[in-house]
Amino acid sequence: MTDEFAIYEQMLPMGWFGDRPDDHRLARQFGATMPDSWQHIVVDRQLGCGVTVTMERRGFTVYNVRGWPAGMPSYDPGWYRTAGRAAEAELPALVQRLRLVNTHLSLLHCAAMFHDNESPSVLRVRASDLYRYERSDDGVDGMWFGRGQAQRPAIGPAEAIRDNSPLGLAAVETSLDWLDAVVANDALVDFDRLNQGQDALGTHDFSTALGVLWQICESRLHKLAVQGQLRVDPRIKVSDLCKLLKRHQFLATDLKRRLDVVREERNGLIHRGVEPSAQTAEECLDLATELLKSVVPNLATRAPRRLFLL
């Protein structure tokens, strides 16, 4: 894995980072040269977890993970004798890095909710969306490459999906504070699931959204049991786990009731293939958000508005 990677298009729905440039209307002029003001670095911060995040006003965001070896194997150099084995060993690192980025995308949404009651769309990053920095032959200079092409400072079709509202730097800094907290609490998997659920809600895929958001609920309920020092069989039914947590006052009565309702519709999806309602998927988002507040107390989310097709 490279020490640096970047993303671009998936950041555009978040809008501009910091102040919106005066020439923002150029976003629809495909092929025009990218203005220097759009490429101004507004955030350059090293997180406590060892990741350095550099963000340009236009949304191009670089993650340097040199100080964050998560997912990288401890290996004997002699073991790497084939490209196939090297690629297999790098896969866990790639998964962790994608989790990091997708978590940050969701936390940017949550920080915008917290600071300004705004809910920018959340997209999901995949391996094909990553840009990699390749140095020149002399090792002095280089260029970002994504999808097999060089990333040139020109306005492209991706700009058309930009939310033209600026995302304040206070919200951006808060998202990075929260990202550090998520990594420190070993909660990347659950926050990556939050991103997947938000992305699915954005395309009105309520089955996927309910399935993955319910996984967060189950995971956090088991974490509650561990934190409460309760001895719980890992195979315990969720309904019994909720009763146990409520009995020991680790789960509020109203929250348990809401979980029971959503669990029934989720069981209908899993066991009988019953399509869940939008309301249930959104309620599961609210429940997952509430349970994730044990990691990020000020977490806030909002499901995207529904699209009516006539």
Q: What is the pLDDT of residues 4-36, one digit of tens each?
A: 999 999 999 999 999 999 999 998 899 999 999
The share of the chain scoring above pLDDT 70, in percent, equals 92
Beta pairing class for 142-146 and 131-135: antiparallel
Q: What is the mean pLDDT of residues 223-249?
A: 95
Q: Report the pLDDT value the prediction gives residue 150, as an integer from 0 to 100.
A: 86
Give me the phi and psi of 44, to 5 degrees please: -145, 95
Its pTM stands at: 0.92
What does the mean pLDDT of the chain come to?
Answer: 91
Cα end-to-end span (Å), the chain: 47
Residues 6+ apart with CB under 8 A from 53: 43, 44, 45, 47, 61, 62, 63, 64, 104, 176
Q: Report the pLDDT value the prediction gives residue 85, as an integer from 0 to 100.
A: 63
pLDDT tens, position by position, 169-226:
999 999 999 999 999 999 999 999 999 999 999 999 999 999 999 999 999 999 999 9
Residue with tokens 């670095």, as numbered in its chain: 41
Give yes or no for a contact between 35 and 23, defined as CB atoms under 8 angstroms apart: yes
State whether residue 186 is helix, strand or coil.
coil
Q: Is the pLDDT of residue 252 over 90?
A: yes
Beta pairing class for 52-56 and 61-64: antiparallel
Q: Which two structure tokens, joined as six digits, stand for 212?
A: 């993955």
Q: How far apart are CA 188 and CA 100, in angstroms?
A: 7
Q: How far apart are CA 191 and CA 158, in angstroms?
A: 26
Q: Report the pLDDT value the prediction gives residue 244, as an integer from 0 to 100.
A: 97
Give yes or no for a contact between 29 and 160, defined as CB atoms under 8 angstroms apart: no
Q: Report the pLDDT value the prediction gives residue 196, as an integer from 0 to 100.
A: 98
